[in-house]
C-alpha cells in the first residue's frame, strides 16, 4: 500500500502555467514527487559525470548546469546533514522535532529523497524515522508538546508529513506517515473548533485549546490542511474555507460587501484588529491565499503589490520566516512579482551565507533559534527554482 500522488499531465517545470480560477478547495492531482526528483537527479548526475558542472560561475547553458544558487544550496544541505545527531534529529538548538521537520522539507525541496543511496539520502531516512518515533506525538496527535514548539511546531511537522506522504522508504513507513499525519490533522481540526469570538473563528493560536488566534500560527495549520487535502486525507472543505475567512479578516484594508479592499496595495496583519501590515504577515498571507486557490482575489493582488513596495531587508525582525513566505508567495503570483522576488532573495541570501554553508540571523528573536532553523528556511526560499514540493507548485 502506498500513497504516491498521481501524475495528471506531463511535467514541464519551466512551462507549467498557473490554472486560472481553480475550484477553491478541490483536491489537486499533483505530479509524483518521487518521479520528478528522480528524473532531475539522474540528469544532474549525468552532467556531473560529464564534467559540465565544474565552473559554477559560468553562464547557464544547460538546464542542469550549476549556478551560484545551486552551489549555495549544495553547501547548505551539507551543513544540515552535518548537524544530524545520533538519534536522527537535525538541530543545533531546541525544538528538535520541528527543526528536523524543517530540515527534511528543505532537503526534499531541492531534490533529496529518503530512498537516495548517498549520505544525504541516509540523513533523510534517519531524520524521518526520528520524527515518526512514538514519543514525538502524544496520544491526542499533538507534535508541539514534546519539543516545546506548541502549535507552530505542530503545523510545521504536519505539513512536512503531508508533503512526504508516498516518499517513505517502504510501504510500512508510508503507512506510518499517513497515520501520524491524519492524527495531527485531526488535532488541528479539533483546535479550530474550540469556541472563539467571531473575529478569531477559523484561526489558531499557540496552544490547541486557546480561544483566540493569530495569523502566524494560523498559516502553518492552513498550509498543513491544504497539503493533506491534496493527499486525500480527511480534511473538510469547510475547515479550509473558515481559515481563509480568518485570513481575510486579518487584511489591513477595510473590505466592502463586494469583497473589494479600500486600498489598491495593502497587506496582512498579525491579528484581525491590526491595521498596519508587516512584511512577514503579508508574505505569509499571500502564499496561503494562493495555495488555497484564491489566485484572483483582490487581496492577493494588493498584497503582492504591497510587497513590491516593501521588499525584504536583511535586518527585518523575522527575516528568514518572512522571506520563506515571500519567495514562495511571489513565485505563485508569477510575472514581474516572481522575477523581482527571486532576484532580491538570491542577492541577499547568497551574500549572507557563511563559510560552512549555513545562515545565521543577526537580529530579532530569530538570532537565538539556531542555524538549522535559518538555513532550512533559506534553502526553502531559494528552492523556487526547483519547485519539487507539491504544495509550492503553481
- This prediction has a pTM of 0.84
Sign of torsion over alpha carbons 190, 194, 198, 203: negative
pLDDT value for 349:
98
Asked if 25 and 291 touch (Cβ cutoff 8 Å), the reply is no
In whole angstroms, what is the distance from residue 240 CA to residue 85 CA?
36
pLDDT value for 392:
85
173-225 pLDDT, tens per residue? Answer: 999 999 999 999 999 999 999 999 999 999 999 999 999 999 999 999 999 99
Phi, psi values for residue 214, rounded to 5°? -140, 160
pLDDT beneath 70, residues of the chain: 1-64
pLDDT value for 363:
82
Amino acid at each position: 500500500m502506498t500513497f504516491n500522488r498521481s501524475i495528471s499531465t506531463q511535467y514541464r517545470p519551466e512551462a507549467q502555467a498557473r490554472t486560472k480560477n481553480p475550484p477553491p478547495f478541490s483536491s489537486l492531482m499533483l505530479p509524483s514527487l518521487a518521479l520528478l526528483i528522480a528524473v532531475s537527479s539522474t540528469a544532474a548526475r549525468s552532467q556531473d559525470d560529464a564534467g559540465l558542472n565544474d565552473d559554477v560561475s559560468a553562464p547557464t547553458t544547460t538546464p542542469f548546469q550549476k549556478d551560484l544558487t545551486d552551489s549555495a544550496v549544495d553547501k547548505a544541505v551539507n551543513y544540515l546533514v552535518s548537524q544530524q545527531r545520533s538519534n536522527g534529529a537535525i538541530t543545533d538548538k531546541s525544538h528538535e522535532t520541528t527543526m528536523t521537520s524543517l530540515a527534511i522539507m528543505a532537503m526534499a525541496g531541492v531534490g533529496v529523497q529518503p530512498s537516495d543511496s548517498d549520505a544525504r539520502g541516509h540523513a533523510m531516512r534517519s531524520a524521518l524515522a526520528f520524527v515518526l518515533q512514538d514519543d514525538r506525538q502524544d496520544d491526542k496527535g499533538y507534535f508541539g508538546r514534546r519539543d516545546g514548539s506548541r502549535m507552530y511546531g505542530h503545523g510545521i511537522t504536519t505539513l512536512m508529513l503531508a508533503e512526504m506522504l508516498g516518499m517513505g522508504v517502504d510501504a510500512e513507513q508510508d503507512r506510518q506517515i499517513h497515520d501520524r499525519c491524519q492524527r495531527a490533522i485531526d488535532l488541528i481540526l479539533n483546535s479550530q473548533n474550540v469556541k472563539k469570538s467571531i473575529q478569531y473563528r477559523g484561526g489558531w493560536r499557540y496552544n490547541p485549546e486557546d480561544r483566540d488566534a493569530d495569523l502566524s500560527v494560523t498559516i502553518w495549520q492552513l498550509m498543513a490542511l491544504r497539503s493533506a487535502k491534496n493527499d486525500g486525507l480527511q480534511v473538510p472543505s469547510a475547515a479550509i474555507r473558515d481559515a481563509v475567512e480568518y485570513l481575510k479578516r486579518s487584511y489591513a484594508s477595510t473590505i466592502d460587501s463586494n469583497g473589494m479592499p479600500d486600498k489598491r496595495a495593502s497587506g496582512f496583519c498579525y491579528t484581525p484588529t491590526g491595521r498596519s501590515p508587516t512584511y512577514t504577515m503579508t508574505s505569509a498571507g499571500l502564499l496561503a491565499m494562493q495555495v488555497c486557490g484564491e489566485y484572483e482575489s483582490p487581496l492577493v493582488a494588493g498584497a503582492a503589490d504591497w510587497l513590491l513596495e516593501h521588499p525584504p531587508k536583511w535586518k527585518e525582525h523575522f527575516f528568514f520566516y518572512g522571506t520563506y513566505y515571500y519567495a514562495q508567495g511571489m513565485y505563485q503570483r508569477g510575472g514581474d512579482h516572481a522575477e523581482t522576488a527571486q532576484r532580491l532573495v538570491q542577492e541577499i541570501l547568497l551574500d549572507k551565507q557563511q563559510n560552512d554553508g549555513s545562515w545565521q540571523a543577526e537580529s530579532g528573536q530569530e538570532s537565538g533559534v539556531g542555524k538549522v532553523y535559518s538555513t532550512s528556511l533559506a534553502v526553502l526560499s531559494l528552492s523556487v527554482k526547483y519547485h519539487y514540493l507539491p504544495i509550492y507548485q503553481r
